[in-house]
Every structure is written in C-alpha cells, then in structure tokens.
C-alpha cells in the first residue's frame, strides 16, 4: 500500500511539474509582473520547459537574449534547473546549467562567463571616473557556484584575462600580453570562506599573490608585481608608482578591508 501511495504521489508530482513547464510563458510572466511589478519583460515566448526572453530588467540588472531548456534530472537533487544562455549587463555572455532549490538556494554547475575587458570595465564606476580603459579577453570557468542568497557564495573555478592591455590617465597605454589567472577555491580553514590565488604566464608584469576572504566578509591580500625579463623600462616605471620597489625590482602590495556585501537582514528583506 505504501509503495502504491509513493508511486501515485510521484506520478502526480510529475504531472503537475509537466503541466506547469508546458504552460505558455507569456501567461506565467503576467502573474510574475503582478507579484513583482519592478521586473520588466520584453519579447517573451515559449514555455518553462523551453523558452526565450529578449530582455529582462530591474533597477539593478539587465539580461538580454535569455534562452533556457528545462533539465528534469536536477529535480533529483531538489532543484528546478535548466541549461541557460544569456547576456548580462550588455557585457557578459553567460552559459551553463543553473537551478534554484525549494529553499531558494541558487546553484550553477558548470558555468562559463565571457566578456571583453573593454566592455567589462565600463561596468566599474570607479574605473570610468578615472578614465581607465582596458583590452583583451576575460573568461570565467566555474565548476560550481552555490549561494544561499545571504552569505558569500561558495565558488570553485578560474578567471582568466588574456592578451590584456590597460590605458590609464597617468601612465598611458601598457601592453601586458600573456595570461593572468585568478584561481578561486573554497577554504577549509576555520572562519575563512574562500582563497584566491593570483598568477601569470608570459606577461609583461609577473603576478604572484593571494587574497583570503573570511566568513564575516573581511579580506586581506598580498600581491607581488615584478617586470618580466622582456618587459620595456616603462613597465618598471609604472610599478614604481604603486609602491617602493624591492631589490629584485618587485613591488609588494598589502591591503585589508571588508567586502561591500549586504547584511543577512537586508538580503532577507529584499527577498
């Protein structure tokens, strides 16, 4: 009898999920905008199973050309998941598998991000105020991102900047070349959320260092910058503006601070 009840409930759940997933998306969007009028949609077509939104935006974010395909296998882990492809903030191409659990936890595994440095730096107000420009390709390769929408997310992945160059008001153009990499790993140390390792390969400025991020959002970084053997003298002059050079020509940068992360109370209020 218990097995029969289990199979009936499983069948009923599958039917309800399929019914919702196959419902016309414009009808569902109308319900969403009634609940959350600050969310705006344009060019909506398809269903929850397979759909498209040409533009979705709020006061904080804009998403263009959002496509998705529902992944039923994610239900086994307690997530509503889908293959997603979209452009975020007109600058970042996003592709991967993402889902949200019934407890509103967000998970992506895997997830790739691609952008040009020129477009990405436009999203940084401080860089725009200084008139900074950048070139090169930036990509993110993440094996997993898990976020409970309150604390710092758990991230495992790498960010790469290839064939980069920077134009700054004081120092002018600076060709960096090669590849800079940030390795992001979840930390096993007490009270520490994640560790970021910094490195470079065949670049004009040799980069080495790390950033430690604590559970309370405090961080501390230690970075070493050094001209490569093939770098022009102008590279050493630029590094000299950042701090006093050591005997080997490198510059050591240290900093402590707190990430501008919203408190749990504020995050819950927004939800």
Per-residue pLDDT tens digits for 204-244:
999 999 999 999 999 999 999 999 988 888 888 888 888 88
Least confident stretch, 89-98, 123-132, 183-192, 259-268: 259-268
pLDDT surpassing 50 at residue 53: yes
Joined together, the tokens standing for residue 55 give 């533009």
Q: Please work out, in degrees rounded to the nearest 5, the angle formed at the alpha carbon of residue 33 by the alpha carbons of 30 and 38.
A: 160
70 burial level (CB within 10 Å; 0-12, 13-18, 19+): buried
The structure's pTM equals 0.84
The reply to whether omega before 68 is within 30° of 0 (cis) is no
Of 64-68, 165-169, 245-249, give the range with the top mean pLDDT.
64-68
Q: CA 28 to CA 45: how far, in whole Å?
A: 11
H/E stretch holding 43 reads strand 40-46
What are phi and psi for residue 75, nearest 5 degrees? -65, -30
Q: CA 249 to CA 204: how far, in whole Å?
A: 13
Q: CA 147 to CA 124: how far, in whole Å?
A: 23
Q: CA 153 to CA 66: how far, in whole Å?
A: 23
């Amino acid at each position: 009898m218990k097995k029969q009840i289990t199979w009936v409930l499983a069948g009923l759940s599958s039917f309800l999920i399929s019914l919702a997933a196959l419902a016309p998306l414009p009808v569902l969007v109308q319900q969403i905008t009634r609940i959350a009028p600050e969310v705006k949609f344009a060019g909506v077509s398809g269903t929850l199973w397979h759909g498209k939104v040409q533009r979705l935006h709020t006061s904080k974010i804009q998403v263009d050309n959002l496509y998705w395909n529902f992944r039923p296998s994610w239900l086994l882990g307690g997530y509503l998941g889908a293959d997603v492809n979209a452009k975020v903030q007109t600058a970042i191409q996003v592709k991967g598998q993402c889902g949200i659990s019934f407890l509103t936890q967000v998970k992506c595994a895997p997830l790739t991000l691609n952008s040009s440095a020129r477009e990405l730096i436009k999203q940084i107000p401080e860089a725009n105020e200084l008139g900074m420009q950048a070139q090169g390709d930036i990509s993110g390769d993440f094996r997993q991102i898990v976020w409970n929408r309150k604390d710092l997310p758990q991230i495992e992945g790498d960010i790469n900047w290839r064939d980069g160059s920077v134009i700054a008001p004081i120092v002018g153009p600076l060709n960096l070349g090669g590849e800079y990499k940030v390795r992001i790993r979840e930390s096993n140390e007490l009270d520490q959320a994640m560790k970021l390792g910094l490195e470079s390969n065949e670049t004009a400025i040799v980069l080495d260092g790390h950033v430690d991020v604590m559970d309370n959002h405090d961080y501390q970084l230690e970075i070493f910058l050094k001209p490569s053997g093939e770098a022009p003298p102008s590279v050493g002059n630029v590094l000299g503006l950042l701090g006093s050079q050591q005997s080997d020509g490198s510059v050591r940068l240290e900093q402590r601070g707190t990430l501008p992360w919203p408190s749990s109370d504020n995050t819950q209020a927004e939800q």
